[in-house]
């Protein structure tokens, strides 16, 4: 073979490699999304953008400033939980003006939870202020019942009377019509609980308090909380016991989810497509010995399946949820927002009934995963995520598929069938933009809009919303838009009016 012919062959081979490489690169920079808009999977709850309102943190002066109220209105907060998390098991409605984790039933002045008249603080929120605030914002109120103080101090009848009195005060004496009530908080905690209960002890208290409270108002809905490792056999056995012994006495099961607590990182999240449920690490400096389950959506569906098999009609809630802490280096506020967005998206996908994020605000502590900045009270970037998801509350979930694991889709059809929302969470590094091609089956849009939540750098303190161009490819009939790196994009499709 002559040198000239060899050179021509090498040139042709080189060009072929370039073409193949270009095709491969183009394919790698695209994601195909398929939406089945004609197949409704179920209705989405309106109680997924909820928050824990700690009576000792959401003080009168902060509410008067208006920033907190504006934030809750901005995300259409569906339900608010009061008086907060573990603080409920120190709280007494008849004596509300004490700080968190102080108990007026404690008589030992040397105890860390002792309190007296010198500790009174009229700036903290009481139940009347909370209920009026909920009414002002159009949010559903949820009130907690303190069981642990009664058990700790041998005053369970007094605790029972407190519970009966507050139900009577809200729903008989006054017309507050409080529907949702939760019975204590994390009473399984050996070190964290005011009084740590066994599952058998908690089951008995559920029955006792349910009977007494429903004698006042039979229409109330009761929520019980136990450990969150739903599928691990030893933990499911405890939930199974609660359902067998006390399932007739409550309506909603509550589990608390803090993803990857102790080891939370951006890299861990990027490597997990989709995000899976992970328990707290027992020793965050030792071996990784956590419970790792399926996705949150799958956990929710499994729980419903198991409950149905037991003949119970009990919904699932997560009244405390967030990504976990990292004891060495917390992800940036913007990174936290995208990680939180996947959790919230999975709650929607799985059919969770209720979710209240913890914490809303927490003075004295400053973490990038909080909803509000604890010093300025201004919203963290996750506020924008909640604003984007609020469109779909009460609407209809429809299935969607993705060709790339790191682009997570979620599709929702309006109840009137005229609007379709498609959310695309792009889990990526700094500069990895990608073209999304969306094929919509069973819905013919006449126009479309696209907005995205992103940031110039992953280390950003804040993110921003910007509009994207979205076009219809006349040949393939696919809608196309460019997904920025590390972003949550919302495509909105409209039918003809």
**Residue 358 sits in the same domain as residue 473:** no
Interval 467-485: pLDDT, tens: 999 999 988 899 999 999 9
**Residue 193 sits in the same domain as residue 252:** yes
165 phi and psi angles, rounded to 5 deg: -65, -40
**Residue 76 sits in the same domain as residue 136:** yes
Q: Is 389 domain-assigned?
A: yes
**Residue 375 sits in the same domain as residue 307:** yes
- Confidence class of residue 8 from pLDDT cuts 50, 70 and 90? very low
Query: Which segment of 97-101, 179-183, 359-363 scores lowest on mean pLDDT?
Result: 97-101
- CATH, residue 483: 2.60.40.1180
Q: Is 408 domain-assigned?
A: yes
pLDDT score for 107: 93
- The answer on pLDDT for 287 being more than 70 is no
Q: Is 13 domain-assigned?
A: no
- The answer on pLDDT for 26 being more than 50 is no
**Residue 158 sits in the same domain as residue 277:** yes
Summarize the confidence of residues 55-74 as an average pLDDT: 90
- CATH, residue 98: 3.20.20.80
**Residue 63 sits in the same domain as residue 36:** no
**Residue 308 sits in the same domain as residue 412:** no
- Confidence class of residue 372 from pLDDT cuts 50, 70 and 90? very high
Distance (Å, whole) CA 267 – CA 280: 17
**Residue 231 sits in the same domain as residue 359:** yes
Summarize the confidence of residues 346-367 as an average pLDDT: 92
Query: Which segment of 55-59, 73-77, 265-269, 390-394 scores lowest on mean pLDDT?
Result: 55-59
Q: Is 5 domain-assigned?
A: no
Summarize the confidence of residues 140-146 as an average pLDDT: 98
Query: Which segment of 6-10, 137-141, 194-198 scores lowest on mean pLDDT?
Result: 6-10
Q: Is 9 domain-assigned?
A: no
pLDDT score for 366: 74
- Confidence class of residue 367 from pLDDT cuts 50, 70 and 90? confident
Domains in the chain, number: 2
**Residue 294 sits in the same domain as residue 257:** yes
Q: Is 256 domain-assigned?
A: yes
**Residue 354 sits in the same domain as residue 417:** no
What mean pLDDT, rounded, does the chain reach? 90
Q: Is 21 domain-assigned?
A: no
pLDDT score for 28: 55
| Stated pTM of the model | 0.92
**Residue 338 sits in the same domain as residue 486:** no
- Confidence class of residue 121 from pLDDT cuts 50, 70 and 90? confident
Domain closes at, from 358, 393, 428: 393
- Confidence class of residue 130 from pLDDT cuts 50, 70 and 90? very high
Structural domain that includes position 194? 46-393
Q: What percent of the chain has pLDDT over 70?
A: 91
Domain closes at, from 393, 415, 446: 393
Q: Is 15 domain-assigned?
A: no
> Residue 347 CB: number of other CB atoms within 10 A?
25
**Residue 34 sits in the same domain as residue 89:** no
Domain closes at, from 351, 372, 393: 393
Summarize the confidence of residues 99-124 as an average pLDDT: 87
């Amino acid at each position: 073979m002559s040198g000239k012919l060899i050179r021509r062959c090498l040139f042709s081979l080189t060009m072929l490699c370039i073409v193949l490489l270009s095709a491969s690169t183009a394919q790698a920079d695209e994601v195909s999304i398929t939406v089945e808009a004609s197949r409704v999977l179920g209705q989405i709850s309106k109680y997924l953008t909820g928050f824990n309102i700690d009576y000792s943190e959401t003080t009168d002066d902060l509410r008067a400033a208006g920033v907190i109220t504006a934030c809750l209105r901005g995300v259409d907060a569906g339900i608010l939980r009061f008086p907060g998390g573990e603080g409920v098991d120190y709280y007494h409605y008849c004596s509300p003006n004490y700080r968190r984790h102080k108990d007026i039933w404690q008589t030992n002045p040397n105890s860390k939870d002792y309190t007296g008249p010198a500790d009174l603080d009229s700036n903290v929120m009481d139940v009347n202020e909370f209920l009026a605030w909920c009414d002002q914002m159009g949010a559903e109120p949820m009130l907690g019942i303190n069981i642990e103080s009664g058990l700790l101090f041998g005053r369970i009848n007094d605790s029972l009377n407190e519970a009966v009195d507050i139900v009577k005060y809200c729903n008989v004496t006054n017309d507050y019509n409080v529907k949702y009530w939760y019975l204590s908080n994390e009473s399984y905690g050996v070190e964290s609980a005011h009084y740590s209960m066994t599952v058998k002890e908690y089951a008995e208290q559920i029955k006792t308090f349910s009977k007494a409270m429903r004698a006042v108002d039979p229409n109330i809905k009761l929520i019980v909380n136990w450990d969150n490792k739903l599928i691990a056999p030893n933990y499911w056995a405890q939930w199974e016991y609660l359902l067998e012994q006390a399932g007739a006495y409550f309506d909603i099961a509550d589990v608390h989810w803090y993803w990857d607590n102790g080891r939370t990182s951006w890299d861990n999240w990027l490597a997990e497509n989709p995000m899976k449920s992970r328990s707290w690490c027992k020793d965050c400096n030792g071996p990784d010995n956590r419970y790792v389950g399926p996705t949150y959506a799958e956990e929710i569906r499994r729980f419903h399946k198991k409950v149905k098999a037991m003949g119970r009609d009990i919904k699932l809630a997560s009244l405390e949820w967030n990504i976990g802490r990292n004891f060495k280096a917390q992800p940036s506020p913007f990174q936290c927002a995208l990680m939180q967005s996947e959790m919230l998206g999975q709650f929607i996908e799985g059919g969770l009934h209720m979710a209240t994020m913890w914490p809303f605000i927490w003075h004295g502590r400053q973490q990038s995963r909080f909803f509000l900045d604890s010093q300025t009270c201004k919203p963290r970037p996750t506020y924008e995520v909640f604003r984007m998801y609020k469109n779909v509350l009460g609407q209809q979930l429809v299935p969607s598929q993705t060709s790339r694991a790191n682009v997570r889709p979620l599709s929702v059809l309006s109840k009137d069938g005229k609007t379709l929302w498609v959310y695309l969470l792009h889990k990526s590094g700094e500069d990895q933009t990608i073209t999304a091609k969306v094929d919509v089956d069973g819905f013919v849009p006449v126009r479309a809009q696209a907005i995205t939540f992103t940031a110039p750098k992953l280390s950003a303190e804040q993110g921003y919303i910007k509009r994207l161009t979205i076009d219809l490819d006349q040949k393939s009939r696919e809608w196309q838009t460019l997904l920025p790196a590390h972003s949550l994009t919302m495509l909105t499709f409209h039918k003809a009016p």
